[in-house]
């Protein structure tokens, strides 16, 4: 296994529809930061465009280390909507879902994920502080192990998704 740094993935182009909801998740990441949390937001959207839930990272507010935006969104959506509805939905995330959030997405049966800034670029903001580091596993690794398909699109709108992270992490 090489110790060479992993290159950041190229930005992908997304549809206007996807850009609209991804920007909504990015706006929620700003809300999270304004409230003293790490800047992440998520939106789950049905195929007809109905926003099922919106969430942001709340670990600063709650002290709950698992209160990530995507996991919060799944926690809100799972009791409200049957698996068939979630399987047809898209989760938009301002940042690439971490391993825990990817697992929550898998368990919820959400069938599609679109994310902003990728984990490689996020690590630059996180720095080397132990409590800010992540498990260096990508959401696609989790999704690829799923017995049901989970379409994953990203990174997209990288500069917009990165903006709330500027100066938002301890160095």
Q: Which of 16, 50, 54, 70 is catalytic?
A: 70
Torsion of CA 140, 116, 121, 101, to 10 degrees: -50
Residue (of 109, 110, 107, 26) closest to 69 by Cα position: 26
Judge contact between 165 and 158, C-beta under 8 A: no
131 is catalytic: no
Dist. CA 28–CA 15, nearest whole Å: 20
Dist. CA 64–CA 81, nearest whole Å: 24
Residue (of 135, 138, 170) closest to 155 by Cα position: 138
Between the alpha carbon of residue 153 and those of residues 13, 95, 117, 125, the distances in Å are 9, 11, 11, 22
Phi-psi region of 157 (alpha: psi -120 to 50; beta: other; left: phi over 0): left
Active site residues: 70
């Amino acid at each position: 296994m090489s110790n060479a740094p992993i290159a950041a993935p190229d930005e992908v182009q997304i549809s206007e529809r996807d850009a609209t909801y991804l920007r909504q998740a990015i706006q929620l990441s700003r809300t999270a930061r304004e409230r003293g949390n790490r800047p992440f937001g998520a939106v789950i959207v049905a195929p007809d465009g109905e926003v099922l839930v919106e969430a942001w990272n709340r670990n600063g507010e709650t002290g709950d280390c698992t209160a990530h935006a995507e996991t919060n969104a799944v926690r809100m959506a799972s009791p409200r909507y049957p698996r068939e509805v979630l399987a047809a939905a898209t989760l938009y995330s301002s940042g690439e879902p971490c391993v825990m959030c990817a697992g929550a997405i898998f368990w919820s049966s959400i069938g599609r994920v679109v994310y902003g800034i990728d984990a490689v670029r996020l690590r630059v903001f996180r720095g080397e502080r132990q409590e800010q580091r992540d498990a260096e596993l990508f959401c696609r690794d989790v999704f690829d192990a799923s017995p049901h398909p989970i379409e994953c699109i990203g990174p997209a709108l990288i500069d917009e998704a990165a903006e709330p992270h500027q100066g938002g992490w301890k160095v």
